[in-house]
Amino acid sequence: MDQSVCAVCRNTGHHGAQWVARIGNDEMRVHKPCGQKLVETAPEGTKVKLYPSKELRQKFADERRARDVQAFWKQKFATARHG
């Protein structure tokens, strides 16, 4: 489990800072709510982008694959003929 320290609140929280906030060319690891606050409070004309870290994107992809496999087999068993 990643225990990165959030660049905004300086805490790790339960899961660590798993989101990336990009301000111009600078990137920092943040918690999602802290990153959303940065986006909301950025001065006009400042571009702030918030996105999941590489590790979090991998976790999302793994969970999506597991759901897809489960749904596939559930559908196959539901339509299987008992004979």
Q: Establish if 2 belongs to a structural domain.
A: no
Instruction: Dump pLDDT digits (tens) for 11-37.
Output: 887 778 899 999 989 999 999 999 999
Structural domains of the chain, count: 1
Rounded Cα distance, 60 and 43, in Å:
31
Query: For residue 68, what are the CA distances in angstroms to 58, 59, 76?
Result: 15, 14, 12
Instruction: Dump pLDDT digits (tens) for 39-61.
Output: 999 999 999 999 999 999 999 99
Say if pTM beats, i.e. exceeds, 0.75: no
Q: Establish if 12 belongs to a structural domain.
A: no
Residue 51 DSSP one-character state = E
Q: Establish if 52 belongs to a structural domain.
A: yes
* Amino acid letter, residue 14: H
Picking from 35, 32, 12, the residue whose alpha carbon sits closest to that of residue 23 is: 35
Q: Establish if 69 belongs to a structural domain.
A: yes
Q: Establish if 9 belongs to a structural domain.
A: no
Q: Establish if 33 belongs to a structural domain.
A: yes
Q: Establish if 57 belongs to a structural domain.
A: yes
Q: Establish if 30 belongs to a structural domain.
A: yes
Range of the domain at 59: 19-79
